[in-house]
Every structure is written in structure tokens, then in C-alpha cells.
């Protein structure tokens, strides 16, 4: 059996929540390894909707769930989320949820700084959620972060806060924003320790023990490939590595522990926020995809931009991200559209590209080259076998496989967990 890493192959919002939930029933341990509470996963179980941001999806099923050191954690947001999920009847305790003791914390000052910097950018906004994820990652890299383990030592905590604010208050002052009071920040952190520290643990040991015992581990990614800080549409990206390669470093497991990589892939393309989007359809098709697909962010409620499937981007994602198979989601949103377009290349200033270049100016002006495929009138919603799909829908899926060079392992035809066609079990390796 193989451990499985689930990652987004586009700009996030590909439907990872449902697929992770589907897989978590087969897993023993579920791990978040990057991102923060800017990510959102929606699970629908027996008609009940769970909206998660920081909590690994496995908590809903009572599986051991781990927040790894690669995540940045807003402790207040996490505790609110725990209470919300508890109110829905889910039991969460330090036996079922563990947080890496060395995880960096997001403080209120990070959100203030995030929003102040976005305001200062004017028309050049990155499109962040304003929740402080970027500034928290910056502090981690700059070696001034407050980590969960610091809450156990009052002297270390005071030193960390002073060091942090000596940097950030100068920046806030320069932006004309209100400065942060060190005493208030320190008091808030001291007050949160008792509630949060019971979940703290050296999770790398738990994961090593699970691996030795042959237990199946599911690594749950957030965002998507095109938001990766190295490989995405920089600077319109998140502040962490979103690829499966981050699963080992962001959890404390050895690099060989990551087995099968499943890329969650929407049957069309969406993105939230600013940045290039070659196949975006600012027309009736884009509106139709958005309405049918209920394309609003789980965390922010922002409307997603919608467009045709981009096979070039997903192929690049599969190659760089080491994706073994994809879970194709929201195929049913395409029902009834007579002709479907799939991007198979780009043009820019007379030059043809069979990949997505890194240069910002090229990305902004690149034009897609489309291949037209036949649509289908029949409904695919709720299909649970290939035989339930229209022939044209099967052809569409097969053509996507050819273009991206990766097979479909799972095919999702509705938000319900059981409306899934299993082609290959990722845990079988």
C-alpha cells in the first residue's frame, strides 16, 4: 500500500475537500502540510455540509489528523473552527488532532500588515485573503516567528513578541497604519496557550510510528500548483510550496514516505483574485460555468473567475509536481454545452509556446490556442460508472488524459462523496 498526497493541479478550488474525504475513509492518518486558514475545503457527508480551513478533513471521520510544521496557524481561527465542527457533532480532542509543536503562529498583527500592504499596492493588489498568511511565512523565513512551542516559556514568548514588533511596527508606521501594542499581543498569546497547547506534539514521531506500522497516510494539500510560490503565476501566488514535494518537509516525514500523488483537477478552470488566466471567459460561458459550479470561495465568498480547461497548465503541473493520476471533478457542470474548448498551446507576439512561461509580461499577454470538442446533452450528474456517462463525455475525459499525459484515477460527478467513479485506487500505489 502507498501513502497518498493530494494536491491541486490548477489555481486551487478544484474540489479537494470531497476527494480528500473520500480517501480519508480509506486512510489511517490525514496530514495538512502547508498553507493556512486562507484555504477552504467543503465536505458534504450524508447531506451535511462541513466547511474546513485549518482542520484536516479526517477530523470529520474521527481519524488521526495532523497539522504539520509547514502550515501557519492562526490559533484563534483554529479554536473557532474546532468549536464550530464540535457543534456539528464531531468529537475533536488531542487524541484525534495533533499540531506540530514547531508550527509558526499567525498573530493579529499579520492580518493588519497583510491588509495594509494590499491597500498600499492599489491597482497592483496580489489578491490575498488578508488573513496574514504571507507575513507569517515571511517571519518564519526571517527567523522571527512565534511558534507554538514558545507559548510554554513566558520569557521566550516575550522576547519573540518584542523582536517581531520592532520589525513590523516600523513597517506599519511607514505605511501610515496603526502600530501594534506589544503588551496587548503578549497578553493575547498568553491567554490562548491553555486552550491550544494540549494539541501540541512532536508529530514527526507519530508519523514515523504510523509509517513503521504500515498505516496509510494521506497528505492534504491546500491551494493549487499555479499558486505555488516558485512555480505559479508569481507574484500572484500564495506564500508556500503547494506541490507534493512539500509534504515531507512540511510534516516531518522522510521524503520517501510520499507515495502516490493525486492531482485534483477541475473539468474546466477557475481562479480567485488577481493574476493571469489565459482561458478566462468573461462572457456567457464564464457566467454559466460560475453559476452551475457554484464558484464562490469557501473562505472568502469571493466569486471565482471561470474559463475553459487548460491542458498546457495541467500538463506542466503534472510534470513538475510528479502527479501520477488525476481526480477529475465537476464534469457535470459541462452538461448541455454544445461545444467545449480545451487549450492546447499559447501564442505571444508571434511566438508559439507549448508550456506556460515564467515571465510576468508574457503571462499577462499570452493567447490560448484551442481545440474544439463535442459536448453532450445528457446529464452526467451522479454517475458512478463509465457506463453511466454519455459517449461524448467519455471522449472528453480521454482527450484530457492524452493532452496532460496522466490518467484519470477518480472521476467526480457531484459534490456527494459516493458520486465518484473509481478507476484506480491511489492507496494501491
Alpha helices in 175-256 (DSSP H): 182-196, 203-212, 246-249
User: Where in 54-196 does DSSP place strands (E)?
Assistant: 64-67, 97-100
- Average pLDDT, integer, range 23-46: 86
pLDDT of residue 184: 86
Q: Please give the model's pTM, rounded to 2 decimal places.
A: 0.92
Strands 41-45 and 29-32, by their bridges, are unpaired
Cβ contact 102:148 at 8 Å:
yes
| 379 SS3 class | coil
* Catalytic, out of 21, 37, 41, 150: 41
- When mean pLDDT is compared across 39-43, 131-135, 344-348, 397-401, the lowest value belongs to 39-43
pLDDT of residue 21: 83
Q: Catalytic annotation on 347?
A: no
Q: Which of 107, 97, 84 is nearest to 199 (CA)?
A: 97
Would the pLDDT of 418 be above 60? yes
- When mean pLDDT is compared across 14-28, 165-179, 221-235, the lowest value belongs to 165-179
- Average pLDDT, integer, range 234-260: 92
Cβ contact 45:208 at 8 Å:
no
Cβ contact 55:19 at 8 Å:
no
Q: Catalytic annotation on 80?
A: no
Would the pLDDT of 126 be above 70? no
Strands 309-310 and 367-374, by their bridges, are unpaired
Backbone angles phi, psi at 19, to 5 degrees: -65, -40
* Catalytic, out of 13, 74, 139, 228: 13
Amino acid at each position: 500500500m502507498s501513502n497518498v498526497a493530494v494536491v491541486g493541479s490548477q489555481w486551487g478550488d478544484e474540489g479537494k475537500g470531497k476527494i480528500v474525504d473520500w480517501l480519508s475513509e480509506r486512510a489511517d492518518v490525514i496530514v495538512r502540510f502547508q498553507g493556512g486558514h486562507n484555504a477552504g475545503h467543503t465536505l458534504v457527508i450524508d447531506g451535511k455540509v462541513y466547511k474546513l480551513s485549518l482542520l484536516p478533513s479526517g477530523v470529520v471521520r474521527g481519524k488521526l489528523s495532523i497539522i504539520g510544521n509547514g502550515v501557519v496557524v492562526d490559533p484563534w481561527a483554529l479554536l473557532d473552527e474546532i468549536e464550530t465542527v464540535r457543534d456539528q457533532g464531531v468529537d475533536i480532542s488531542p487524541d484525534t488532532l495533533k499540531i506540530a509543536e514547531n508550527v509558526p503562529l499567525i498573530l493579529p498583527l499579520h492580518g493588519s500588515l497583510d491588509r495594509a500592504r494590499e491597500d498600499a499596492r492599489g491597482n497592483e493588489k496580489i489578491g490575498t485573503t488578508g488573513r496574514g498568511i504571507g507575513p507569517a511565512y515571511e517571519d518564519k523565513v526571517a527567523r522571527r516567528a512565534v511558534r507554538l512551542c514558545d507559548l510554554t516559556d513566558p520569557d521566550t514568548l516575550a522576547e519573540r513578541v518584542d523582536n517581531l514588533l520592532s520589525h513590523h511596527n516600523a513597517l506599519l508606521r511607514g505605511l501610515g497604519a496603526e502600530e501594534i501594542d506589544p503588551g496587548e499581543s503578549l497578553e493575547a498569546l498568553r491567554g490562548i496557550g491553555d486552550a491550544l497547547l494540549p494539541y501540541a506534539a512532536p508529530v514527526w514521531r507519530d508519523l514515523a510510528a504510523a509509517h513503521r506500522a504500515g498505516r496509510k497516510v494521506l497528505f492534504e494539500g491546500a491551494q493549487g500548483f499555479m499558486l505555488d510560490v516558485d512555480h505559479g503565476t508569481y507574484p500572484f501566488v500564495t506564500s508556500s510550496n503547494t506541490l507534493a514535494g512539500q509534504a515531507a518537509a512540511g510534516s516531518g516525514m522522510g521524503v520517501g514516505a510520499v507515495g502516490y500523488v493525486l492531482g485534483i483537477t477541475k473539468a474546466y478552470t477557475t481562479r480567485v483574485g488577481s493574476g493571469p488566466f489565459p482561458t478566462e471567459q468573461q462572457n456567457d460561458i464564464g457566467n454559466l460555468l460560475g453559476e452551475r459550479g457554484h464558484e464562490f470561495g469557501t473562505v472568502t465568498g469571493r466569486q471565482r473567475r471561470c474559463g475553459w480547461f487548460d491542458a498546457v497548465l495541467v500538463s506542466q503541473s503534472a510534470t513538475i509536481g510528479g502527479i501520477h493520476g488525476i481526480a477529475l471533478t465537476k464534469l457535470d457542470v459541462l452538461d448541455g454545452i454544445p461545444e467545449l474548448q480545451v487549450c492546447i498551446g499559447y501564442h505571444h507576439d508571434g511566438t508559439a509556446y507549448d508550456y506556460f512561461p515564467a515571465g510576468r509580461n508574457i503571462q499577462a499577454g499570452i493567447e490560448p490556442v484551442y481545440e474544439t470538442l463535442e459536448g453532450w446533452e445528457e446529464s452526467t450528474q451522479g454517475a458512478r460508472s463509465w457506463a453511466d456517462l454519455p459517449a461524448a463525455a467519455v471522449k472528453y475525459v480521454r482527450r484530457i488524459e492524452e493532452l496532460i499525459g496522466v490518467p484519470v484515477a477518480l472521476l467526480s460527478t457531484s459534490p456527494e462523496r459516493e458520486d465518484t467513479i473509481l478507476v484506480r485506487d491511489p492507496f494501491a500505489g
